[in-house]
Amino acid sequence: MFTPVSKKGVLGHFCEPDEALAAAAKVRDAGFTHFDFLTPFPIHGMEEAMGQKRSWIPWVTGVLALCGILFAQGLQNWVMIFDWPMNFGGKPFWSWPSFIPITFEAMVFWAALGSAVVAIAAGKRDTVPQPPPMEIETGATVDRFVLWISATDPKWSAEETPAFVRSLGANGVKLVDLEGGADA
């Protein structure tokens, strides 16, 4: 049974990507599972430092690209060989090199659109509550690397967690309450 907590989480920001990477590894090693880093640009190695598994979305993209290739080649061959065969300058009906541009376009279309739909559907399973957007100025999209630890984490403590974040070297540690405000 879910019991409401009095606080949503704690925010702390870092100024350098190396500091954020080291802090992510320490948060993971401390046993926290409901945490995230908000960064202005991707940091190489952050997924490993946070203990996240490698994404399966590239495999879905590859399968969808193959489906796009098979669909385009199948449709073009069926049309040009069986449904409406046309003779273009004595070339054979099955002329796969002339089908390459359409096949490439279908591959890109199926892979891109399908991957976007799958990624959106898979993202709905995210269980880490995020900080309230637009209510708290974090600076994460400009120049800061912001650590967020949610109050839903099993190791959460309203007294100990902010102190832990401060011990990592974070600046501007804030405890975020249910109304979206922040305490110093």
Going by pLDDT thresholds of 50, 70 and 90, the confidence category of residue 136 is: low
pTM: predicted TM-score of the whole model, two decimal places: 0.66
Map residue 93 onto helix, strand or coil: coil
Whether the per-residue pLDDT at 12 is higher than 70: the answer is yes
Which candidate, 171, 154, 168, 142, places its Cα nearest to that of 21?
A: 168
> What integer is the mean pLDDT of 146-164?
88
Percent of the chain with pLDDT over 70: 84
Q: Hey, what are 10's tokens? A: 């704690």
> What integer is the mean pLDDT of 97-123?
92
Going by pLDDT thresholds of 50, 70 and 90, the confidence category of residue 1 is: very low
Going by pLDDT thresholds of 50, 70 and 90, the confidence category of residue 132 is: low
Going by pLDDT thresholds of 50, 70 and 90, the confidence category of residue 88 is: confident
Burial of 106 (C-beta count, 10 Å sphere; 0-12/13-18/19+): buried
Going by pLDDT thresholds of 50, 70 and 90, the confidence category of residue 178 is: low
